[in-house]
Amino acid sequence: MNPYIEILRPGNAIMAVIAILLMAIISGKFTLEVAMASVVVFIVTGAGNSINDYFDHKIDAVNKPERPIPSGRITLKKALIYSITLSTVGILIALLINVLLGSIAFFSSILMIFYARDLKTKCLIGNIAISFLTGLCFVFGGIAVDQITISVYLGFFAFLMTMAREIVKDMEDMVGDKKEGATTLPILYGKRNSSIIASFFMIIASLTSPILYFIGIFSIYYLIILLIAIIVFLSSAISILKDQSLENTRKISKRIKIGMGIIFLAFAAGSPYLTSFFQL
């Protein structure tokens, strides 16, 4: 893969775009604003991933030496310029939609810089920042399609799921983080306590997410698919509580990501727009 594409971590950036598309499906609005918002989220998220790799190149040299910067395929200077350019383009496109979305894009870009430079290595603060940004993607899409209340609900559940995964990822990256003097949750309080907190977020997300069906936001199709995601999360919570080895944390991190994907599918399947479409 081209290193300038790889450093964007397109898989993660596309996950952010999915939040926008889900809000479009839920609202039934497929407008130019939705397309522009999707481009903004992809670009700004990619820029955030790039600046993260810029500040994290020493840790990545230990944890993930195959990434573009530690492998020598992109220089530090080029990565910095690339990230700033992408952020600027994303903010300008967001401003073309409206000032509020432009402001959110600007705020998100600044927060991602602080996250990469300072917050990532701090106990829970970095986890909260990145989880907040994940949830904010839904709100960004909700503003674009005028469905803010629903987007806040979805953003909240995205926050819970991302918190669980971020803590597990910190458990996975302990070796490199220790060498850089990071003070992440597992470094300060151990893997066992971290696994308990990660499991807490998975369990809370599993127990509360059916509420969206019972308050009438989604149809029964949401609940049916959601049950699969709940099984994934609960089994992941049990597994990480039993085994905090590097091998298992890597497996659970991937499993949580799959669970998030299933929940996103449940959001789409249970949306009023798709439900009415399939009933035609």
Chain centre distance of CA 145:
20
Q: How confident is the model at residue 275 (pLDDT cuts 50, 70, 90)?
A: low
pLDDT score, position 180: 74
Res 91 pLDDT > 60? yes
Please give the C-alpha separations between residue 130 and each of 103, 133, 134, 270, in angstroms, as whole numbers: 18, 5, 6, 27
The average pLDDT across 188-216 equals 94
Per-residue pLDDT tens over the stretch 44-79: 999 999 999 998 887 777 778 888 888 889 998 999
CA–CA dist 216, 95 (Å, integer): 33
Based on DSSP, count helices (H) and strands (E) in the chain, helices before strands.
Answer: 14, 0
CA–CA dist 109, 43 (Å, integer): 10
Domain tally for the chain? 1
Domain at 212, CATH number: 1.10.357.140
pLDDT score, position 276: 64
The average pLDDT across 169-186 equals 85
Per-residue pLDDT tens over the stretch 103-118: 999 999 999 999 988 8
Q: Report if pTM > 0.85.
A: yes
Q: What percentage of the chain carries pLDDT values higher than 90?
A: 73
Mean pLDDT of all residues in the chain?
A: 91
Q: Determine the Cα angle at 254 with ends 252 and 259, to 5°.
A: 90
CA–CA dist 54, 22 (Å, integer): 31
Q: How confident is the model at residue 278 (pLDDT cuts 50, 70, 90)?
A: low
The average pLDDT across 155-184 equals 89
Amino acid at 164: A
Burial status of residue 247 (CB atoms within 10 A of its CB: 0-12, 13-18, 19 or more): exposed
Per-residue pLDDT tens over the stretch 224-270: 999 999 999 999 999 999 999 999 999 999 999 999 999 999 999 99
pLDDT score, position 181: 78
Which domain range does residue 204 map to?
3-278
Q: What percentage of the chain carries pLDDT values higher than 70?
A: 98
